[in-house]
Amino acid sequence: MNTFSVLAKKELSQTIREFKIIWLPLVFMLIGATQPIMMYYLPSILKMLGGLDGITIDPSMTQVSGAEVMASTIDAQFNQLGTIILVVALMGVIQSEKANGMLSFILTRPVSTLSFVWSKVVSQFVFLALCLSVGFLTSYGYAALLFSTVPWGELLLSMLSYFVWLLFVVSFVVMVSTIFNGQGIIALIGIAFLFFCTVTAGLHPILAMFSPAGMSLQSVYLLSTGTFDPKIGWNLLVSVLWIGVTIGVTYFWIAKKKFQK
Amino acid sequence: MRLEISDITKTFKTKKAVNQFSMTIEKGECVGLIGPNGAGKSTLIQIIADILEADQGEIRLDGKPIATMKREIGYLPQYPNFYQWMTAAETLFFMGELSGLTKHELKRDIPDILTRVGLAGEEDSKVGTFSGGMKQRLGIAQALLHKPSFVLMDEPVSALDPIGRREVLNLIQAIKEETTVLFSTHILNDAEEICERFVVIKSGEKIEDTTKNGLLNRNRDVAIQMMIGTGNNSWWEHVKQLPYVQKVNVFGNKAQIYVNNIELDKNKLLGEALQHHIDIRNFEVGGTETIEEIFLDLVVGV
């Protein structure tokens, strides 16, 4: 068995032993369900709180489609609470191996730096993509139940494009986790930078062009309008470049043994 | 496996941890790297294990760069640490697979190696519940599991109790038959017991590279060690007056007596003692210093 699969297998058994495989999908299920349920009950909540001479709600405003509900799930839940949870789940991925000395230990074995970095990024990405899929499907289910069904193709494509952003999230946090030694600072940098990417990408089209969050925006765009924005090719290219750079930095940092104190 | 260390220098910020260190270890040799705390032993060992990058110099194993020879190295860090959630057997399985052993070989060898390091019966215990000494044993097991031809150990026995220390020393004794061994220690007796060759390191520099006998002979300071029964203390005063005696250091009923010519004068002194009916308990010609003292002289005195 080659070292990549040995290391990836170890990552998988770790998620099982640490019960990540149970709580993380549950959390995303919860996040996925929140938005459709909230949107469904929002009119009645507003009606109750609105009183007699409050604001009048135009009933047509609340006639949203299932796809729009899913778009706002991504926008208001996955991109916010979801990102925080992803960073927290990922922050120790290399940091803890540095702290307990296993990283140096593993590298005294005939293990290439590349297979070490890849095993981390790939196994975490696959696992988190599964967790997010659970969230997407929950949101899809509630949207279909309470609003209208979303076409399967749209769901699938929006998930795929969101996963490109997820891959960036994973490779970015892995990089930060390699460079810094404190969990607090890793979480802070991870969350701050990823929020910065999402917010700036939504602010201005030029900024969106260079933001790694372009693909998560595309996912929202697809669900709200039914098609991808024509700039998707460019967004994909930029995202791949960002992923390449972060993995490259991680590789360099470990290969040059800069992780040693 | 022949290990060549040439001109290794490593600087941390402004502190030179290892300074132009060179040595060669021949196949089958067992070498003890000795030095006080902070001498640069661990840094040097980590550079040899390819965990740290040297600023300068290179390490070659059988003429090839060490980075390409990792399959042949067994490495034990000073504080071995493993995944808390793995059991002892799983840890060895994981490390063994990384070294390219097959499942079949691992299934066959793991119970055996656990027995050899004294962890039989702990296969399925979580590493998180292990004491420091047990982790050390597991560390030794993983270093030997893939039958490396070069074993590198950083303070293998310093953390162990006397029983564990004895077991590990016996284990090293057994593997050094077929393996090149380099280990660091600040406890000289350990090195003295299993190694033929010592390399003394101080402030990152090699200050001595010698064998046990070489070390003892080179610093041999020959004197007569004499011990007498109590009540004869005037005897020392008498000895001091003898023409061939240079110096007498008295410690109660024991003394070190330095004479002009050890070969001739020792018998004269003995004859003198017999004439005076001295109650001789011990009369010995030999070095005044133990290896421990020589070591102290080397690292403190220089």
Task: Return the closest-CA partner of residue B50 out of B31, B64, B66.
Answer: B66
The answer to whether the beta carbons of residues B2 and B182 sit under 8 Å apart is: no
Per-residue model confidence (pLDDT) at position B223: 78
Asked if B98 lies within 8 A of A109 by C-beta distance, the reply is yes
Per-residue model confidence (pLDDT) at position A231: 85
Residues of chain B contacting A17 with CB distance shorter than 8 Å:
85
Q: Which residue has the tokens 């030029």?
A: A206
> Residues 4 to 23 of A: which have CB under 8 A from any B CB?
6-7, 10, 14, 17-18
Q: Report DSSP state, residue B242.
A: S
Per-residue model confidence (pLDDT) at position B203: 87
Asked if A10 lies within 8 A of B49 by C-beta distance, the reply is no
Q: Write b or e for each residue in B89-98: b if 16 or more Cβ atoms lie within 10 A of its Cβ, otherwise e.
A: bbbbbbbbbb
Asked if B70 lies within 8 A of A110 by C-beta distance, the reply is yes
In this predicted model, which residue has the larger pLDDT, A215 or A202? Answer: A215
Residues of chain B contacting A108 with CB distance shorter than 8 Å:
49-51, 70, 73, 75
Task: Return the closest-CA partner of residue A173 out of A191, A200, A195.
Answer: A191
Asked if B98 lies within 8 A of A3 by C-beta distance, the reply is yes
Asked if B81 lies within 8 A of A14 by C-beta distance, the reply is no
Asked if B75 lies within 8 A of A108 by C-beta distance, the reply is yes
Q: Does A99 touch chain B (CB under 8 A)?
A: no
Share of chain B above pLDDT 70, in %: 94
pLDDT at B204 over 60: yes
* Mean pLDDT along residues B126-151: 90
Residues of chain B contacting A21 with CB distance shorter than 8 Å:
none
CA distance B73 to chain A (A): 8
* Both tokens assigned to B141: 């097991």
Q: Does A109 touch chain B (CB under 8 A)?
A: yes
* Mean pLDDT along residues B261-281: 85
Asked if B77 lies within 8 A of A104 by C-beta distance, the reply is yes
Asked if A106 lies within 8 A of B98 by C-beta distance, the reply is yes
Angle, helices A152-179 vs A232-255, to 10°: value is: 30
pLDDT in tens, A87-140: 999 999 999 999 888 888 898 899 999 999 999 999 999 999 999 999 999 999
Share of chain A above pLDDT 90, in %: 63
Cα B227 to Cα B283: distance, rounded to the nearest angstrom: 7
> CA nearest B80 in A: which residue?
A101
Residues of chain B contacting A111 with CB distance shorter than 8 Å:
70, 98
Coil, strand or helix at B10: strand
> Residues 202 to 261 of A: which have CB under 8 A from any B CB?
256-257, 260
Q: Report DSSP state, residue B55.
A: S
Residue by residue, DSSP assigns B95-134 as: HHHHTT--HHHHHHHHHHHHHHTT-TT-TTSBGGG--HHH
CA distance A95 to chain B (A): 13
Backbone angles phi, psi at A150, to 5 degrees: -100, 135
pLDDT in tens, B155-195: 888 878 888 888 888 888 888 888 899 999 887 778 888 88
pLDDT in tens, B219-261: 556 678 888 887 777 888 888 888 888 888 888 888 888 888 8
Instruction: Give chain B's radius of gyration (CA, Å).
Output: 25
Residues of chain B contacting A14 with CB distance shorter than 8 Å:
83, 85
pLDDT in tens, A22-61: 999 999 999 999 999 988 888 787 777 765 565 666 655 5
Coil, strand or helix at B161: coil
* Mean pLDDT along residues A175-190: 95
| Position B302 confidence tier, pLDDT thresholds 50, 70, 90 | very low
Sign of CA dihedral B221, B222, B228, B233: negative
CA distance B50 to chain A (A): 6
> CA nearest A10 in B: which residue?
B94
CA distance A126 to chain B (A): 21
pLDDT at B66 over 50: yes
Residues of chain B contacting A102 with CB distance shorter than 8 Å:
81-83
Chain B positions with Cβ closer than 8 Å to A: 46, 49-53, 70-71, 73, 75, 77, 79-83, 85, 94-95, 97-100, 103
Per-residue model confidence (pLDDT) at position A171: 97
Q: Does A181 touch chain B (CB under 8 A)?
A: no
Asked if A109 lies within 8 A of B95 by C-beta distance, the reply is yes
A/B interface, count of CB pairs below 8 Å: 58
Angle, helices A113-146 vs A92-99, to 10°: value is: 140
Can you point out the beta strands (E) in B126-253?
A: 150-154, 180-185, 197-202, 205-211, 222-228, 245-251
**DSSP β-bridge partners for residue B64:** B61
Whole-complex ipTM = 0.84
Cα A167 to Cα A173: distance, rounded to the nearest angstrom: 10
Residues of chain B contacting A10 with CB distance shorter than 8 Å:
83, 94
* Mean pLDDT along residues B103-131: 91
Per-residue model confidence (pLDDT) at position B264: 82
CB atoms within 10 A of CB B275: 8
> Residues 14 to 73 of A: which have CB under 8 A from any B CB?
14, 17-18
pTM equals 0.82
Q: Which residues contact A11 (CB under 8 A, 6 or more apart)?
A: A119, A120, A123, A124, A127
Task: Return the closest-CA partner of residue A123 out of A6, A31, A240, A17.
Answer: A6
Task: Return the closest-CA partner of residue A174 out of A254, A229, A109.
Answer: A254
Task: Return the closest-CA partner of residue B168 out of B188, B176, B126, B213.
Answer: B176
Per-residue model confidence (pLDDT) at position A222: 92
Residues of chain B contacting A110 with CB distance shorter than 8 Å:
70-71, 98-100
Residue of A6, A18, A107 lying closest to B94 (CB–CB)? A6
CA distance A131 to chain B (A): 22
Average of per-residue pLDDT values in chain B: 86
Instruction: Give chain A's radius of gyration (CA, Å).
Output: 20
